């Protein structure tokens, strides 16, 4: 909005300054004046500009919808495929417990709609997936990649380059859980065992 106002102000000032140039013929009127003199003249003082009143729209309402409590993602006895690292199991269960009851999340990005298409994540309509930061204990900023065994297959959790790290949970339709150890490169569906 500021850019629009600045452009309108500058245009108005320019027109106000330029108007007297065409108000009266100069002593030596030339072909340029003759060509432009046919244009309508409006004194700068009579120019009024109106800008539309901005509506109070919070664009984040489209990125971070209100939380919906969900029994479907409450932790159970474990996951299929089996996650071998107990630290991650606890971290995932803690995060799912908080999401299921709409507990406030520590990061602004948590609960945001994830709309970027990624291979390995089933294609769904906009708003289907919400992303959440998974903080695994004893992985401080600066930690390197770490092996994670899920269902007998070894994956690598990305290095912790920032306070949020690389690991995320993607929650689909408040009932499906996907774990990405490497910041959206690999997605592993985790079914909650009750």
CATH of the domain at 127: 3.10.450.30
Q: Which of 178, 186, 194, 4 is nearest to 92 (CA)?
A: 178
What pLDDT is attached to residue 61?
Answer: 47
What pLDDT is attached to residue 58?
Answer: 46
What pLDDT is attached to residue 59?
Answer: 46
Under a CB-based contact definition with an 8 Å cutoff, are residues 155 and 186 in contact? Answer: yes
**How many domains is the chain built from?**
2
32 with 124, same domain: the answer is: no
Domain that holds residue 84: 65-193
50 with 140, same domain: the answer is: no
Low-confidence spans in the chain with pLDDT less than 50: 57-62
Q: State which of 38, 56, 74 marks the end of a domain.
A: 56
169/130 Cα distance (integer angstroms): 8
Give just the sign of the alpha carbon dihedral 38, 43, 46, 51: positive
186 with 104, same domain: the answer is: yes
29 with 52, same domain: the answer is: yes
Local structure of 145: helix, strand or coil: coil
Cα angle 173, 174, 180 (rounded to 5 degrees) comes to 85
107 with 180, same domain: the answer is: yes
138/157 Cα distance (integer angstroms): 13
157/148 Cα distance (integer angstroms): 7
Cα angle 91, 154, 182 (rounded to 5 degrees) comes to 60
Beta bridge partners of 190: 177
Quick check: bond before 81 cis, omega within 30? yes
What pLDDT is attached to residue 119?
Answer: 84
102 with 73, same domain: the answer is: yes
76 with 165, same domain: the answer is: yes
């Amino acid at each position: 909005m500021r850019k629009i106002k600045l452009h309108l102000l500058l245009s108005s000032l320019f027109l106000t300054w330029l108007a007297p140039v065409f108000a009266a013929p100069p002593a030596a009127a030339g072909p340029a004046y003759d060509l432009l003199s046919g244009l309508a003249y409006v004194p700068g003082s009579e120019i009024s500009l109106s800008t539309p009143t901005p509506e109070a729209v919070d664009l984040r309402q489209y990125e971070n919808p209100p939380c919906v409590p969900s029994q479907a993602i409450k932790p159970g006895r474990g996951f299929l495929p089996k996650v071998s690292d107990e630290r991650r199991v606890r971290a995932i269960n803690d995060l799912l417990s908080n999401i299921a009851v709409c507990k406030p999340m520590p990061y602004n990005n948590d609960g945001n709609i994830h709309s970027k298409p990624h291979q390995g994540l089933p294609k769904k309509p906009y708003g289907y997936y919400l992303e959440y930061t998974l903080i695994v204990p004893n992985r401080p900023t600066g930690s390197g990649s770490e092996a994670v065994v899920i269902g007998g297959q070894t994956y690598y959790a990305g290095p912790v380059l920032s306070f949020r790290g690389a690991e995320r949970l993607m929650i689909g339709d408040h009932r499906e859980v996907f774990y990405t150890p490497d910041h959206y490169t690999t997605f592993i569906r985790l079914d909650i065992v009750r």
